[in-house]
Amino acid sequence: MVRKVFEFEATLYSETPEFEIKGEVFYCRPTDDLSSIEVLDYLAGLTGGGGIARIQTMIKLFNEFIPEGDVPRFRKTVKDKKVPLSTLNEIAGWVLDEYLNFPTRAAEQSSNGSTTAAPPNVDVSTPPPDETSTS
């Protein structure tokens, strides 16, 4: 039997992504506060399935990634400033991108010279490619 052992170093570096909407700044949970599988679950929810599922995932993403006490202010800002859905989609994509790129930025600061590959940037506004292939 063949076995491959995957080893990795624990990440000691953390970031707190932040974004701004019309002068209102919002902070997300620290990057080390979410597991990679949680980030992938959100990515899958925003890129696959139907429109309603994507919207539900986006709402859940904002509720989970923005600290609980700041969610009402975020919702009020989105409502009062009439933030379009396309902008919310852009924000959700950017937030996920920050979590997807986190290991690469941490590895760049590594003192031992090693690097960690991260997935390429993902544009969540583009639907996934058709899974049926003619090749």
d(CA 105, CA 117): 10
Retrieve residue 33's tokens. 């506060």
Picking from 24, 9, 129, the residue whose alpha carbon sits closest to that of residue 79 is 24
> Quick one: pLDDT band at residue 14, thresholds 50, 70, 90?
confident
Q: Is residue 50 part of a domain?
A: yes
> Quick one: pLDDT band at residue 20, thresholds 50, 70, 90?
very high
pLDDT digits (tens, 9 = 90+) for 67-95: 999 999 999 999 999 999 999 999 999 99
Q: Supply the range of the domain harboring residue 24.
A: 18-108
Q: Is residue 116 part of a domain?
A: no
pLDDT digits (tens, 9 = 90+) for 24-33: 999 999 988 8
Residue showing tokens 């980030």: 39
Q: Is residue 6 part of a domain?
A: no
The mean pLDDT of 44-64, rounded to a whole number, is 87
Q: Which residues contact 135 (CB under 8 A, 6 or more apart)?
A: none
Cβ–Cβ contacts within 10 Å for residue 72, how many? 10
**pLDDT at residue 112 is higher than 50:** no
pTM above 0.85, yes or no: no
Number of structural domains in the chain: 1
Burial (0-12, 13-18, 19+ Cβ within 10 Å), 34: middle
Q: Which residues pair with 19 in a beta bridge?
A: 26
Q: Is residue 121 part of a domain?
A: no
The mean pLDDT of 45-59, rounded to a whole number, is 85
Instruction: Give the single-character DSSP code of 82.
Output: T
Retrieve residue 88's tokens. 């919310």
Q: Is residue 1 part of a domain?
A: no
**pLDDT at residue 55 is higher than 90:** no
Q: Which residue has the higher pLDDT, 129 or 12?
A: 12
